[in-house]
């Protein structure tokens, strides 16, 4: 019999962080993972491989622009299989690192599919055997998967999901991306940079619909200049496959042909076959596991963290929830997560990042606001880098000086957004940021300048 204090089902950024924190606090800990490689979707088929692919395309983009910097590179080319190989090597390296951390922290890894058989028992089924685990506490960290559209199901041939798009056998000449959230935009940026004719279809009136409208509008303007075709307020009415392409009829009435189609229309929770019927666990209307602020489900001793527990579905949120959940179990003075302090990042070119309320949300929330904006073409470091398309927009409560939200697009803004995450977590004000000395020349000065600009009469 395998008996543990805490057992985690799933080894993504929520699951493996939960297991490590549990072991650090003295719990006898196990993790159950159905895949061969640890790390979940994020490490194996999400965050990490896509950033590796985007890095490769960024290098190619810089080589093509080298003449701007007085450097001439002749005959630059790329091999898509070598790019994919590079991204998979990064994945293998980091997955091995997670496996090492399991050993280092004396965490037992059970390979197989985990299914609840009550609030303290898990059946683990693998090709080799079936095991039973008894655990005082069980944490569900089973994540999510890509959602298909009715009658447009990914087949790995003409129709791709994100996983297929990370492993292309060859580059298509033309590509349709259905959906313009972070996943869709990142693939658009990657493939467009490598010379693919990319089209984006978005059912909402703007791309990146969760972002502030100023950022979405500027992103659309920049991506259009890069050659990406964008159709907003539009959807796929019909798709007909042939041997080598897909004929797509849009809701606007236009018909277009594409060699490949990526479906990037959202995600759904991995809740099937994990034994929820053997518990009192409740689901939200959108199919995620319901929890309280400490990630307790409606079944005693069973918790849920990360994407399976609901949006925003972000790796860093999952990891943070993992620590909170374990520390609460341990009786420590845990602090509930503040959703308004969770940053969002899109790693396209240019990058996009945000935290807190958009301008529209702040107004709807009844705040009396002031707004500061600062453009990249006035920032010395951005000009030196020849990355002058960008904006930092900061939304401030006029009465209290509280930073309600910050939204940015431009070079390396995914590295800037943590400044505002820290400011919001510490309940800093515009005065605190104005009183902070930012080094020159840096892109981070745009944070300072955007806050100062909010006071311009």
Q: What is the DSSP letter of 400?
A: T
In angstroms, how far is the first alpha carbon of the chain from the final one? 71
Nearest to 345 by CA among 382, 316, 318, 377: 316
Quote the tokens at residue 432. Answer: 């605190």
CA angle 149, 154, 155 (to 5 degrees): 145
Cα 254 → chain centroid = 32
Residues counted in the chain:
457
Please, what's the b/e burial string for 430-451 (b: 16 or more CB within 10 A of its CB; e: otherwise)?
beebeeeeeeeebbbbbbbbbb
From CA 347, how far away is CA 186, in angstroms rounded? 6
Residue 336 host element (H or E) = none
Query: Tokens representing 308?
Result: 């399976």
Q: What's the CA gap between 374 and 446, in Å, rounded?
A: 6
Measured from the Cβ of residue 403, the count of other Cβ atoms closer than 10 Å reads: 23
Say which DSSP state 289 is in. B
The tokens of 309 are what? 């527990």
Angle of helix 15-24 relative to helix 315-329, nearest 10 degrees, comes to: 30
**What is the DSSP track for 195-235?**
T-EEEEE-SSSSSSTTS-HHHHHHHHHHHHHTT-EEE-S--
Residue 331 near residue 8 (C-beta atoms within 8 A): no
Catalytic positions, written as ranges: 440
Give the number of other Cβ atoms within 10 Å of residue 345's Cβ.
Answer: 19
Count other C-beta atoms under 10 Å from residue 233's C-beta: 12
- Distance between CA atoms of residues 391 and 182, nearest Å: 18
Alpha helices in 25-110 (DSSP H): 40-45, 47-64, 80-104
Distance CA(144)–CA(113), nearest Å, equals 15
Instruction: Report the C-alpha gap between 131 and 109 in whole angstroms.
Output: 12
Helix (H, G, I), strand (E, B) or coil at 121: strand
259 neighbors 175 (Cβ within 8 angstroms): yes
């Amino acid at each position: 019999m395998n008996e543990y204090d805490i057992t985690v089902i799933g080894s993504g950024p929520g699951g493996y962080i939960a297991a490590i924190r549990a072991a650090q606090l003295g719990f006898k800990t196990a993790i159950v993972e159905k895949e061969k490689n640890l790390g979940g979707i994020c490490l194996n088929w999400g965050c990490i491989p896509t950033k590796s692919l985007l890095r490769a395309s960024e290098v190619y983009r810089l080589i093509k622009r080298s003449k701007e910097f007085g450097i001439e590179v002749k005959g630059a080319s790329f091999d898509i299989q070598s790019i994919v190989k590079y991204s998979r090597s990064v994945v293998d390296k980091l997955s091995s690192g997670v496996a090492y951390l399991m050993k280092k922290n004396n965490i037992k890894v059970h390979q197989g599919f985990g299914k609840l058989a009550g609030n303290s028992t898990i059946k683990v089924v693998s090709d080799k055997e079936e095991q039973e685990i008894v655990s005082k506490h069980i944490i569900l960290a089973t994540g999510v998967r890509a959602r298909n559209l009715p009658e447009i199901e990914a087949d790995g041939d003409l129709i791709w999901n994100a996983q297929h798009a990370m492993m292309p056998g060859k580059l298509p000449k033309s590509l349709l991306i259905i959906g313009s959230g972070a996943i869709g935009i990142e693939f658009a940026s990657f493939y467009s940079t490598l010379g693919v004719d990319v089209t984006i279809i978005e059912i909402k009136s703007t791309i990146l619909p969760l972002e502030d409208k100023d950022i979405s509008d500027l992103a659309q303007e920049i991506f259009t200049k890069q050659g990406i075709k964008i159709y907003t307020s539009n959807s796929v009415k019909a798709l007909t496959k042939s041997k080598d392409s897909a004929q797509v009829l849009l809701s606007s009435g236009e018909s277009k042909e594409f060699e490949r189609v990526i479906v990037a229309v959202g995600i759904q929770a991995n809740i099937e076959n994990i034994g929820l019927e053997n518990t009192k666990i409740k689901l939200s209307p959108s199919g995620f596991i319901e929890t309280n602020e400490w990630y307790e489900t409606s079944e005693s001793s069973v918790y849920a963290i990360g994407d399976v527990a609901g949006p925003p579905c972000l790796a860093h949120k999952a990891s943070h929830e993992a620590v909170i959940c374990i520390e609460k179990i341990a009786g420590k003075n845990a602090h509930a997560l503040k959703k308004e302090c969770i940053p969002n990042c899109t790693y396209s070119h240019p990058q996009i990042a945000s935290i807190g309320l958009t301008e529209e949300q702040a107004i709807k929330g009844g705040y009396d606001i002031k707004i500061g904006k600062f453009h990249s073409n006035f920032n010395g470091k951005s000009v030196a880098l020849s990355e002058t398309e960008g904006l930092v927009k900061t939304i401030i409560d006029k009465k209290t000086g509280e930073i309600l939200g910050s939204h940015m697009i431009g070079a390396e803004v995914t590295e800037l957004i943590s400044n505002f995450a820290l400011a919001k977590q510490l309940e800093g004000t515009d005065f605190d940021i104005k009183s902070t000395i930012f080094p020159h020349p840096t892109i981070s000065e745009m944070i300072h300048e955007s806050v100062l600009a909010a006071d311009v009469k």
